Structure 1
Amino acid sequence: MQKLLLPLALAVLVLPPAYAENGVKAESTVKAESTKSGVARTRPVEPMGTLSLGAALDLAYSANPDIAVARREVQAVEGAILQAQTIPNPQVGTSIEDTKQETRTTTFQLSQPLELGGKRAARVTAARRGYDAAMLELQGKQAEVRAAVVSAFYDVVTAQERFRLAQATTELAKRATEIASKRVLAGKVSPVEETKARVAESGVRVELAQATSELQASRKRLGAMWGNAVPYFDLAENQLETLPSLPGVDELKQGLRQAPSLQRARMEVDRRQALARVELTRRVPDITVSLGVKRDEQLGRNQAIVGVSVPLPLFDRNQGNVLEALRRSDKARDELTATEVRLNSELGQAYDRLNASRMEVGLLRQEILPGAQSAYDATTKGYELGKFNFLEVLDAQRTFFQARSQYLRALAETHRSAAEIDRIVGVAFERPNMGTVHQEQQ
């Protein structure tokens, strides 16, 4: 009895270390890949002075919570691939018949399930398609964050310029009030002129307070991109008037084919088809091979046991899961079509906004702003010399302030539209001082 049980016991004892060795090797592989995908990375430090767009993008890529979530999903799917590659564990069992030793029958048995129908290969393929989908999801999230950072960065720059404009306008309003006060004391104008000047100065101060609040809010929105509720930087580098290029429509449509969200939708179709193949393979029943020994005390001898068991697929043929998987594949194809239509529509709208805002910036820069500036300067000097009344000065001041504000809004809209195209196409516009942006290494 002992001679027959010894090989069986050795087989049972030798198998687990092999599985454990594979597990340790796989675990070390996951750790190495996780490190490669960006878990152990040096986080950039937010500067205390001037913040460039490249530095802001570096901070967001390294510390943005949404990107971190996408990275974790990639690492989790690595575990799914590891699990899909494993084979079923063997089973060891024993049974004792009769309680009396003289008539007792003892059976030891080792069973190993064998997968048929290509189940393991189908599982691995589906898991790898899931990994590819997770990587594309990470790329899409990076494109979204990049567009959000660019938009938030130029919002800060715009808010800084509006704040400076409001400060300059406040100084001019104070100067106008002083001039009006001196002219009233000299008896040249009615005290009503001074009252109007002070009212106008109060209105400009309100605009300064609004600009201050807008600047603080935009700084916090930008800092939130890398999880900092209280930004450390003092200023965002001003490249507002350097406009992004306007690519051709054909070039954008060509780039749209490689957009992360569109690739993600295509990969989802492949993944769903792979999952459907997994469910189809499960219709093929697996077999279980058994090997053991039986000791009959009454007969006084040992008997070898070899067995094979096969389930009969009479009722459960996995038909429900197969139908569900096929329908979800159809759903993924419909979502791919919907994504193509949506991205084309969004790209067309963003391109039209970018084109219109660039034209508006050019018109304001070349014609409206110089005229408003010239009219305001001439009216202010004329008012000091007594040639104009204060209403004319106030009207020229309001016109200049509105033109300058409209110019800043047009610049901001240009950069926002370009950032939106960035997000859709997944390729960043060339902008000044973007620096070296450390994106996820694919």
Structure 2
Amino acid sequence: MSETQKPDARKSLATTPSARKTIVESRADEFQEEIPVLELADSNVPESNSQDHSSLITRVSLKEALVPPAPSDKQSAAWNSGKKTYSLAELEGLASQYNPTLSQASAVVGKACGIQTQVGKRPNPIVGYFGDEIGDGGTAGRQGAYIAQTFVTADKLRLNELVAEKDVQERSWQYEAQRMRVENDVRSRYFETLGAQRRIELANELLQIAEDGLKVSQQLFEAQQASRADILQSKIQLNEVQIVHQNAVLAHEAAWKRMVSVVGTPHLERGRLAGDLKQQVAPVSDWDTVYHALISNSPELQAAYYRVQRAQSQIERQQVQAKPNFQTQVGIGHDFQTGSEIVNAQVGVFLPIFNRNEGNINLASSDYHRALNDVERIELMLRDRLATTYQNHQQAAQQVEKYQKDILPSAKENLDLTNEGYRQGEFEFLRVLTARRTFFETTQSYVTSLIALRQAEIQISGLLLSGGLNDVPDISQGAGGTSQRGQALNGQ
């Protein structure tokens, strides 16, 4: 189905409940053709975190180092001691190997594959011995062997496999969602750490400005062109900038720890990050285009469609459960009293008189209606989350543009002119302090806006997925799992 022919999810929000159900049902029926099936290459659980997860399922298509000046305190020296430089691509590669949630998610897919294999297996035959009247009056009686077999009717085992197949596909999409969560978190925390690294550089620059300002105040004081109050104010400002510098170092340490935690390598050697905060992650289109791409490609929504299909298959499966299986037994023996050979045959079925599986049919029907509503719920949830993220992106983009074009150049020019005017005795010291503080605050706010812009871009291009260390839901072995095979075999 072409892009222009896809149903518009937004239109379904204005229809009646019955119409919404029809729309979702039709989309669920079209889903098999519209969304490529994730084919499993290996159902075994990975042996280690270092396994390349790309071998498990087919994925859905989806400048220089910043070297700060030498710091002036021990914490900054420890940060500066890292000799390695890491790129974003290197960190993403490490996360694909070492983030434990990816191994968990692939193990769940393997578990679903195992259940799918098991629920379709035919029951094993029973081979046994029978004896009758053994030792009665010294005679041997009758003895022989028999074989018994249960024949499952109404194609129950194939329907079991069909239900389990939808579980496999749902878990495969959930794996893809988890992979994107990890990728998005690594990128987001990379830019957070890169921003913290940049703040240390700016803090070093601010320290140099504050130290130069103190020297100028001392020189003017000696030349009797400034008061001692000017020197004290310069010292206070220098101390404030030193606090800013120490906070920047501590923030970088925390950002580094958060980043390597989601990568899955908490003991990764400390180093610098190569990259540029000004580098755009991905272009962001208008709202309608972004929303349509989100609804069309979200793994969360695609997994929800497979839950609808699974619920449909489960209804069909439960409707045939009441059709009885055949219990057969054939035995061959010898009657030692008459000397003749004997054959024993038995055939039996459960009579569906008291239990026609009505409860399980109603349960499957309720699950189906719940799955239909879950599709609409996820669409609305994605729309709600996108509204906030898109707003954050627009605001951050406007702020960054304003800082780059107007605020930062003006703040820097104002600082230079004010410092020069103070040296020439044209300006009061209060004006100098104001110019420095303005420059300090604008540079820090600019970095904050850049980080927010990069992270919003990551969220939008990454389909709003986050939580690279969240627990991965396991698959239930109850209804639809191995117990469904037991239901097919017992004939009840």
Q: TM-score range by the shorter chain?
A: 0.7 to 0.9
Q: Which residue of 2 aligns with 1:249?
A: 287
For the pair 1:408 / 2:477, whether they are aligned, the reply is: no
Structure 2 Cα separation of the partners of residues 40 and 173 of structure 1: 49
SS in 2 for 1:299: coil
Among 189, 195, 203, the residue aligned to 2:226:
189
Paired residues of 1:219 and 1:231 also in contact (CA < 8 A): no
Change in CA separation of 1:31 and 1:296 when aligned onto 2, cut-off 3 Å: farther
Change in CA separation of 1:289 and 1:133 when aligned onto 2, cut-off 3 Å: same
1:150-205 deviations in Å (ceiling 9; x for gaps):
11111011111111111111121112122222333333322111111111111111
Q: TM-score, normalised by structure 2?
A: 0.75
Shift of 1:37: 12
1:378-426 deviations in Å (ceiling 9; x for gaps):
1122223332232211111111111111211111111111111123267
1:301-355 deviations in Å (ceiling 9; x for gaps):
2211222111112223222222222211211111111001111222233222212
CA RMSD, 1 decimal:
2.4
Could you tell which deviates more after superposition, 143-152 or 260-269? 143-152
Return the letter of the residue paired with 2:256.
R
Structure 2 Cα separation of the partners of residues 42 and 69 of structure 1: 13
* 1:38-437 superposed matches below 5 A: 41=51, 49-100=84-135, 101-102=138-139, 104-243=141-280, 244-256=282-294, 257-424=296-463
Shift of 1:103: 5.1
Structure 1 Cα separation of the partners of residues 160 and 361 of structure 2: 14
Structure 1 Cα separation of the partners of residues 52 and 170 of structure 2: 26
Structure 2 Cα separation of the partners of residues 356 and 187 of structure 1: 49
SS in 1 for 2:463: helix
Q: Which residue of 2 aligns with 1:25?
A: none
What are structure 1's unaligned runs of at least 5 residues? 1-29, 427-442
Structure 1 Cα separation of the partners of residues 365 and 166 of structure 2: 16
Structure 1 Cα separation of the partners of residues 90 and 306 of structure 2: 32
Change in CA separation of 1:293 and 1:126 when aligned onto 2, cut-off 3 Å: same
Q: TM-score, normalised by structure 1?
A: 0.83
What are structure 2's unaligned runs of at least 5 residues? 1-39, 54-81, 466-492
Sequence identity (%) = 23
* 1:2-17 superposed matches below 5 A: none
Structure 2 Cα separation of the partners of residues 67 and 324 of structure 1: 33
Could you tell which deviates more after superposition, 305-314 or 90-99? 90-99
Return the letter of the residue paired with 1:88.
P
Structure 1 Cα separation of the partners of residues 189 and 111 of structure 2: 31
Structure 2 Cα separation of the partners of residues 242 and 121 of structure 1: 53
Q: Which residue of 1 aligns with 2:34?
A: none
Structure 1 Cα separation of the partners of residues 276 and 349 of structure 2: 72
Structure 1 Cα separation of the partners of residues 115 and 156 of structure 2: 15
SS in 2 for 1:288: strand
Count residues in correspondence. Answer: 394
Structure 1 Cα separation of the partners of residues 45 and 354 of structure 2: 47
Paired residues of 2:334 and 2:340 also in contact (CA < 8 A): yes
Pick the structure with more helix per residue.
1
Return the letter of the residue paired with 1:341.
L
